[in-house]
Amino acid sequence: MLRFVFQEVNPELSFFLDRLHVDLTYYTSTTEDLIFNVPVSATSGYTSTVLNAGKTENKGIELSLSGTPVQTENFRWDIGLNLAKNKNQLVELADGVENIRYTSLFGVTLEARPGEPLGTFYGYDFLYDDDGNKLVDADGYYLSTDEVVAIGNILADMTGGVYTDLQYKNLSFSALVDFQKGGSVHSYSNQWGKYSGTLAETAENDIREEGIVVEGMVAEMNDDGEYVSTGVANTSNISAQSHFFYNQGYIIHAADQYDASFIKLREMRLDYNLPASMTSGLPFSNISIGVYGRNLAILHKNVPHIDPEVATSSSNIQGFEGGQLPAERTIGFNLKFNL
């Protein structure tokens, strides 16, 4: 049995003769006894068990602003903004369960661990010095952590969108831009594309002919067995093939873990209602014609080659992208009429 506790504070305000609406929601919710298929060590003889396990907490704010800045007899402009920020945390799991693994692919795992948000990626990361420089070994290859560490999370920090709607006489225009800030995606298209040399960057700057000296500080192992920077920048050249194998996500998983933020022009449409005077002799009424487009452009993103949004789904298993088909751009034409 899954239990759910929800608390909400929801002031809803309207100002200026209903020309401005503010809707603010603050909520906290706690979900207990989640039903999980929990992977267990195969040495038990089984690879998973079904448990009522754990408690998660969601805290968030949702803000919706909408208004009509201009309204005259022939012209009306509506604009709206909505923002949602949610903070998720797995508070606890069942006794004896340290973590729940959703899935694992090429060494990267997606897990739920107490203290972290649900859906955290674990894998090997680069080693860094205190100034944030990557550490490089004596042969010119990046060093990686000994153990898997958290390298990203599927959940966005904030999502939202802006819409606008303009009407002048019989002509109307609307547009919607939406965005996601934060969240993380592991891209196998990038990983294998670099590994196999099919992406443009594997041939740019004469890297195949001349190799590459990666940016980072040469490290050496201290007496405690930890790598520390020597303070000397790397000068060792390695071949492109070695670079795109050892320095990329197949060996150092964090190398192909990307920020999933985006801003998209989601929709635009333009409609024209034919005036009644033009249609009076026809057997139709309320005729409108229009054009619309959806998924028109990605205005900003931080991951090369792919659309970061395609790796999302409604299940626990998400955030892995590989050989995706891009979202379709749809452009269409509308004709509406009443009989």
The distance of closest approach from Cβ of residue 124 to another protein in the complex, given in angstroms and rounded to an integer, is 9
> Nearest CA to 21 among 57, 68, 59?
68
For residues 260 and 268, is the Cβ–Cβ distance under 8 A? Answer: no
Q: Considering only residues 95, 147, 223, 224, which one is a binding residue for another protein as defined by CB under 8 A?
A: 147
Minimal distance, residue 101 CB to another protein, in Å: 6
Tokens of 186: 């592991």
Where does the chain have alpha helices with state H? 188-195, 207-210, 240-246, 276-279
Q: Any contact of residue 316 with another protein (CB under 8 A)?
A: no
Q: Using CB under 8 A, which residues numbered 79 to 98 contact another protein?
A: 96, 98
Note whether 99 binds another protein by CB under 8 A.
Answer: yes
Closest CB to another protein among residues 104, 170: 104
Tell me which residues in 173-202 interact with another protein (CB under 8 A). Answer: none
302 contacts another protein (rule: CB under 8 A): no
102-121: contacts with another protein (CB under 8 A): 104, 106-107, 109, 111
The residue behind tokens 């022939």 is: 74
Contact 5, 29 (CB under 8 A): yes
How many residues appear in the chain? 339
Contact 310, 319 (CB under 8 A): no
Residue 276: count of CB within 10 angstroms of its CB: 11
Residue whose CB is less far from another protein, 13 or 42: 42
Stretch that binds another protein, among 34-42, 213-221, 276-284, 331-339 (CB under 8 A): 34-42
Binding mask 39-58 for another protein (x = CB under 8 A): xxxxxxxxx-x---------
Q: Which residue's CB is nearer to another protein, number 124 or number 258?
A: 124
Q: Counting contacts by CB under 8 A, is residue 339 touching another protein? A: no
Q: How many chain residues bind another protein (CB under 8 A)? A: 26
Please tell me the distance from the alpha carbon of residue 99 to that of residue 38, in angstroms, as a whole number: 8
* E strand map for 10-95: 12-15, 20-32, 35-39, 48-52, 55-71, 75-92
- Long-range own/partner contacts, residues 24-28 (CB < 8 A, 24 or more apart): 24/61, 24/62, 24/63, 24/64, 25/61, 25/62, 25/63, 26/60, 26/61, 27/58, 27/59, 27/60, 27/62, 28/57, 28/58, 28/59
Give whichever of 157 and 206 is closer to another protein, judged by the CB atom.
206
Interaction between residue 239 and another protein (CB under 8 A): yes
The minimum distance between CB 44 and another protein, in angstroms, equals 5
List residues near another protein by CB under 8 A: 39-47, 49, 96, 98-99, 101, 104, 106-107, 109, 111, 122, 147-148, 239, 241-242, 245
